[in-house]
A and B are shown apart, each in its own frame.
Chain A
Amino acid sequence: MRQLLDRLYAVSGAIAALFIVAICAIVLLQVGFNLVDRIAQLVTGRAIGLVVPSYAEFAGFFLAAASFFALADTLSSGNHIRVNLVIQRVPERQRPLIEAWSCLLGALVSGYFTFWAGNLVWESFEFGDLSPGIIAVPLWLPQLSMALGLLCLTICFIDLFVQVCRGEQPSYRTHEETLAGEE
């Protein structure tokens, strides 16, 4: 079980990273096209008019996918920030209470959010909503990334809550301590 969950976070994190590479690739492609166009204009006096259709829209979709798929991995690796000032003063024995509260609240909010994200996907699907760009993408497809990413986040919060209740150190805390210097 432990392995399976860790695998889930790692895989969704890797998907997120791939989407960031994809943003970079699609934008670079367009920049390259612009360059070719400009050269063509200089040489032949006419631009070819190369474009990656709807590339700005796709970059937005990819960004959303990257942000949502990375949520669980970012949480379990302690990269989501929190205010440590007060809870640092809490004695180590009471500390699990604090962590349990945060994780439980996280699971509730994230669970609620997941439900409504799923609802949004379903509605876009049912009404056949399309994106406004040149290439009309059915909107439920990119929106699915939000629902799935939030689902992973919810699972992660529940996982962390269980870890705390069992008296274990939640995974994000072990990382938090080593990472005080990073932004």
Chain B
Amino acid sequence: MEQILAGVVLIVSLFALLASGVWVALSLLAVSLIGFILFVDAPMGLVLATTVWGANNSWALAALPMFIWIGEILFRSSLSRNLFSGLAPWLQRLPGGLLHVNIVGCGIFAAVSGSSAATCATIGKMSVPELRQRAYNDPMIIGTLAGSGTLGLLIPPSIILIVYGVAIEESVARLFLAGVGPGIMMLLLFMGYVIAWALFNPGKMPAPDAPLGLVERIKRSGNLIPVLFLIIGIIGSIYLGIASPTDAAAVGVFLSLVLVWYSGELTWELFLDSLKGATRTSCMIAFILSGAAFLTVAMAFTGIPSALASWIGAFELSQTGLLVALTIFFIVLGCFLDGISVVVLTTAVIVPMIEVVGIDRIWFGIFLVLVVEMSQITPPVGFNLFVLQGITGENILKVAETAIPFFLLLILGVVLISYFPEIVLYLPEQMNR
């Protein structure tokens, strides 16, 4: 009974704090303090200091600033232009033509970057002007970018998976492996949709560019070599189990710097700007994680998560029932909060609950990413929408409208991994052997 009261008080105060414009990390800290003062008999200040220290002093989390830094460096380089000119000659023959460059480009960039906004921004700044110049259908240009930008979070490295792994103390490397299958699956779903759309709407497709000879195509593909070299350097070492994600991230920073140096773009300005951006973004995320770590402890003291877990357990809800409910809950939550906040809030309360129902924690991490991806492209709060608004100059509602088919494809993705959990779990299980 007391737990119901505590739960209601804490939820109401959390939403009041968030709505009144208090910074997310600060809201999490404040609501935990409220919980402690009202419902917990423990040395609050001491717990606060040790918990937050423990959450920040973390080897696994050290991968975070470095993966963000890689994205910041590459965003400022000519990589996106190279991706475009390397991919275009091969993909333009497919129905849907250069729209596929958006999707495959995002997929490739996602394999070196951990954030969907960075993926969207880097690919979009090059491809939007190019595709518009060729008179491609505008909603499709924006929609494909909005949709496939979300691959940035799914295809490892992934900032959200680092945050989730650190918060629930699960191996980040295994989570990364689990993201590969679903990432490729979503890539194919997006491409399949574009092909189908192009076949049904031949009138909306522009005339293709003059086809290039094979030699010229291969020559242009040379532009892809630097990025492939990066992907192999970063991801290869994780997949092969040589390096932990943190090692791979440091190697990635080094390789990205070598890459921009090689192309003659490395300046002090680029170095300092990218470093500054990475420092701030990583600090912002680490501060939210700190708040969430303290909230997790406060919650555990109040006994709310275990009460909730046994309450859900008593319903004998099926896994499907619970997942449908959670999906809806997350989409609603994601309308107001950014992805990382959603994930950290979840780990405090919901992970104990899903374990009661027998859902795998790694599988749930991927499920969470897919659902968070949906929230990245739903208004009013969605980072990808903000990014695309900046690139395309369209207003946010129009951008969101173009993303609807891709939102539905993400839901299809969730259904698919629910029926075929092997898509997620096959690779991490191989790692055990």
Contacts and interface: CB of A to CB of B under 8 A. Distances in A.
B61 A63 contact: yes
A75 B246 CA distance: 26
Given A20-B66, A84-B21, A105-B30, A120 B117 contact: no
A70 B280 contact: yes
Given A79-B283, A113-B48, A117-B49, A20 B278 contact: yes
B250 interface: yes
B48 A116 contact: yes
B57 A181 contact: no
B427 to A, nearest CB: 23
B33 A109 contact: yes
Contacts of A64: 53, 56-58
A13 B282 CA distance: 12
Interface string A59-80: 1111110111011011101011
Contacts of B266: none
B164 to A, nearest CB: 17
Contacts of B278: 20
Contact of A180 (B243, B250, B390): B390
A21 interface: yes
A106 B26 contact: yes
A63 B26 contact: no
A66 B62 CA distance: 10
Contact of B286 (A24, A67, A109): A67
Contacts of A87: 19-21
Contacts of B242: 34
B59 A59 contact: yes
A113 B57 contact: no
Nearest to A86: B19
A7 B118 CA distance: 30
A84 B242 CA distance: 43
Interface in B101-141: 115, 117-118, 121
Nearest to A83: B18
Given A80-B25, A98-B20, A180-B386, A67 B251 contact: no
B56 A68 contact: yes
Nearest to B376: A183
Contact of A85 (B49, B279, B381): B381
B267 interface: no
Interface string A108-122: 011011011101100
Bin the interface of chain B by size.
Answer: 35 or more
B346 interface: no
Interface string A22-39: 011001101100100000
A4 interface: no
Which applies to chain B's interface (DSSP): helix, strand, loop or mixed?
Answer: helix
B49 A120 contact: yes
A144 B145 CA distance: 44
A57 B59 contact: yes
B49 A27 contact: no
Given A23-B65, A81-B284, A109-B26, A60 B57 contact: yes
A20 B254 contact: no
Given A63-B65, A106-B26, A81 B338 contact: yes
Interface in B368-386: 380-381, 383, 386
Interface of A: 13, 16-17, 20-21, 23-24, 27-28, 30-31, 34, 56-57, 59-64, 66-68, 70-71, 73-75, 77, 79-87, 98-99, 101-102, 105-106, 109-110, 112-113, 115-117, 119-120, 142-143, 146, 180-183
Interface of B: 17-26, 29-30, 33, 45-46, 48-50, 52-53, 56-59, 61-62, 64-66, 69, 115, 117-118, 121, 242-243, 246-247, 249-251, 253-254, 275-284, 286-288, 290, 336-338, 341, 380-381, 383, 386-387, 389-390
27 contacts: A20-B65, A20-B278, A24-B254, A31-B250, A56-B59, A62-B62, A63-B57, A63-B58, A63-B61, A64-B57, A66-B282, A67-B290, A70-B280, A70-B283, A74-B287, A79-B280, A80-B25, A82-B21, A82-B22, A83-B21, A86-B21, A117-B49, A120-B49, A143-B53, A181-B121, A181-B387, A183-B281
